[in-house]
Structure 1
Amino acid sequence: MTMIEKRAAPRFKVLKGGVVAIDGGSIPCTVRNTSSTGVAADFAQAVDLPPTFTLVIERDRFARRCRPVWSVQRRVGMAFC
């Protein structure tokens, strides 16, 4: 049985440190894959993210507004706003 790809953009595996910047602080994460439409990131523990936030990957000088679209345990899928 063949899986049908439903993603809007191809996904690329990465391993980059990042932070989710929210009002009053930040939450460290590890970005595991990325595409032109969003990322998936792992957190040290399950997180409850606000409706929108900024994902920052300092090494790449990258900062984008995001919104969470799914979560499974400690991994969260984020779409760029």
Structure 2
Amino acid sequence: MDERRAAPRMRVLKAGRIVFGNGMRVYDCMLRNSSEGGVLLKVPSTHDVPDEFMLYVDTDQIRRPVQIVWRKADQLGVRFTGPAEPVRAA
């Protein structure tokens, strides 16, 4: 299998949230591997997830805009489309 990634990925296991719809829709996810350019997300279902959304990484306390590159029934490959921003606790 040919490697098409521009940067190598590192295995991770971090909790995250997929947020869209002006913050009204939130899905839990797990980050399974990561690189400078994107991450692999494990989700219960990709059915209602839009092509672009904000990814919140709970353990790092950041959020980052992403775009889906590929999807399977329970996985999303996403690329970062903007810089990470800190998330402040309320």
Normalising by structure 1, report the TM-score.
Answer: 0.87
Residue 39 of structure 1 deviates from its aligned partner by: 0.4
Aligned to 1:51: 51
Secondary structure at the aligned position of 1:8 is classed as coil
Deviations 1:35-71 (A, max 9, x none): 0000011111233322311000121112110011101
Structure 2 residue runs of 5 or longer lacking an equivalent are 82-90
- Cα RMSD (Å): 1.3
CA 1:25 to 1:48, structure 2 compared with 1: closer, same or farther past 3 Å? closer
**Gaps spanning 5+ residues in structure 1: where?**
none
AA at the equivalent of 2:28: P
Aligned residues: 79
Q: Is the 8 A contact 1:67 1:79 kept in 2?
A: yes
Mean CA deviation greater in 57-66 or 47-56: 47-56
Deviation of residue 72 (structure 1)?
A: 1.7
Residue of structure 1 in register with 2:18 after alignment: 20
Give the TM-score taking structure 2 as reference length. 0.79
